[in-house]
Amino acid sequence: MRTRLPAGPRPSPGNRQALTGARIVLPDGVADGHTLLIHGARILDIVPDAAIPAATERVDLGGGWLMPGFIDTQVNGGGDVLFNDAPTVDGIRAIAAAHRRYGTTGIFPTLISDRPAVVGAAIAAGEEALAAHVPGVLGLHIEGPHLNPAKKGIHDAGVFTAIDAGVIARLTAPTAGVRIVTLAPELTDDSSIRALADAGVIVAAAHSLADYARTRAAIHAGLAGFTHLFNAMTGLGSREPGMVGAALEDRATHFGLIVDGVHVHPATCRIALAARGSDGVMLVTDAMPPVGGSAGGFALMGQDIRVVDGTCRGPDDTLAGSALSMAQAVRNAMDLMGCSIVTASRLASGNPAVFLRMADVRGAIRPGLMADLVHWNDDRRVTATWIAGERSDAGE
């Protein structure tokens, strides 16, 4: 499989725009009194307010912050749609639109462990969505079904399977975007991990009993990250560092954190950030259909999932993904983890772009990158987003 970055919507040859009146969040600080220039799908420049070129359309944002659009690598659903139930381009379109309201301009629809036919349908739908330039869709995340039943979480262990040649062929089929696969390293071998990685698949680990040594070996074979650190994996211990220890120690991999105050204790999130540094942490939502929807619950693999105090829980009270948006995750990173807006932005945009190998295309406000942007007002609420320069005013 040869991966190429999705082309995105075709830029129109419209006038240059000057997005002014907001503080601009850059990779190394906040630019006040500056204006962002965009043209078509791209960022042109960042200039002082007094240096806006003539013949440029001025767009006054009225305060707040202008940030790079958020990139979420784990989105199971949104807008009352579960990807497993709607593995179609229309399902993906609805999920992406629901999350865009919360500043997510780059999305990975995520399939929870399911039967091979559903995996195949999801992959086909992902390619159709990429070909149709559905706004925000960057690729697909297949989470399972190659997981450890002892760490299944809300997944249905009845559909779990081993990785074989047929699975590898399915997962490495050509893609117009980026493909992420989450697996349990102890239930496969290094040659399979290497085959996936060599084909361009981004291999992540979770729902696993892998110890420190097995995780380190998997990293050497091509494991690139960890889907939701601390959740459904072996923890850090004094004599056995576990998967968590391997993730915190390694400086080349990335890990997702579900910062909702429930999946991981805020102090544990702060410790992870201190241990690994701000270059390795990614905010993820693990979002379910209630995000951007109106229903109080949904069905997952025959289980009734209910929303309780902002969390999604199964019949036995098991956490079933989250009702978290990326906008709230960024606010939580600031409020619960003590991150500055610059660091929180990096966790939501810059680091995911590096993990996805597309930092030369998106993930920061820098001349030449895609104009994927989000505007926060002074109350830190999303008022507008831009995907490849195309604005939407559907916000929080």
Q: What pLDDT is stored for residue 149 in this prediction? A: 97
> 327 vs 100, 140, 165, 288, 370, CA distance in Å?
10, 21, 40, 15, 20
Note the pLDDT of residue 14.
56
| pLDDT score recorded for residue 301 | 85
Set 286, 317, 360, 393: catalytic member: 286
d(CA 76, CA 371): 25
pLDDT at residue 302 in the model: 85
121: left (phi over 0), alpha (psi -120 to 50) or beta: alpha
CA angle 282, 139, 158 (to 5 degrees): 85
Residues in the chain predicted with pLDDT less than 70, given as ranges, are 1-14
- To the query of whether residue 379 is one of the catalytic residues in this protein, the response is no
- pTM attached to this predicted model: 0.95
pLDDT at residue number 3: 40
CA pair distance 288, 77, nearest whole angstrom: 4
